[in-house]
A and B are shown apart, each in its own frame.
Chain A
Amino acid sequence: MQLVPLEMMTIGEHGCVRDVDGSPDFVVRLQEMGLHEGARVRMVKTGSPCILAVNEHRFSLRFDDRATVLVELTR
C-alpha cells in the first residue's frame, strides 16, 4: 500500500483517502465536507489551491500545514 500526501497527486490520478490528520477543527470540517477516510478522490487541478473531485463533487483546497491528508493511489 503506497500512501502519499494529497498534494503529491498529479492531474487525473485517482486515490482513496486513508488518513486525515491535523488541527481538530480543520480535520472535522474536511471530514464533514466529504474528505473522510475511505472517500474516493481524483485530482482535477494541481497547485495551491487545487481542485479535487471527491465522489464526483468538486472542492477547492489550499494545502496548509495544519492538516495532512494521506491518499492511497488506486490508478
Chain B
Amino acid sequence: MLSEDAVREIEAARSEEESLRHALLTALRVVQRERRQVGSAEIAYIADLLDLSPAVVQGVARFYDQITQTPTGQHVLSLCRGISCYLCGADDVAAEVMEVLAVGRGGTTADGQFTLRLVECIGDCDHAPAAMVDDRFIGPVEGGAIRALTRAEGGSAWHRS
C-alpha cells in the first residue's frame, strides 16, 4: 500500500516513541501524503501496522481536516477564509477560483489535478488572501493568479520566496 520510504517514516515514529498509538498522527499524515486519502482500506492498514482497533484509527482520522475520506486531486489548493483573509477579499477570490476551476467547495477538477478546499485561518495572514498549494504558501492570491497557477504544471511555478 505504501512506498518503502513511507513505511520507514512510520516505523521510525513507532520505534522512537513511547507508545504505538503515539505514531498514529504521523502514520495518518504519511498515508494521506502517499495515498491522497485515508479511506477504509488505509484505516485498516494503519490499524494493522500499529496494532490498534480500526475504530480508533478512524476516530482519529476523522478528527482532522487534512486527512480525507476520499481521494484528493494531484494537488490540494487551499484558499484561506479566515477573518483576516475575509477582510482582504477572500470570498471574491474563492468565487473566482471556483469559476476558473469549475469546481465547488471540496471538489476536484475534471482532470484530477486540483482539489479545492476552503479552509480556516492558515496562519499566513500577512499575505492575505492567503492560500496554499499542498504544503506551500502562495499568498497573496488573486483570481487571475490562480488562473496562471492552474496552467503551470502541477503548480510548481508557484512558490513565494
On whether the two chains bind one another, the answer is: no
Q: Which residues of B contact A (CB under 8 A)?
A: none
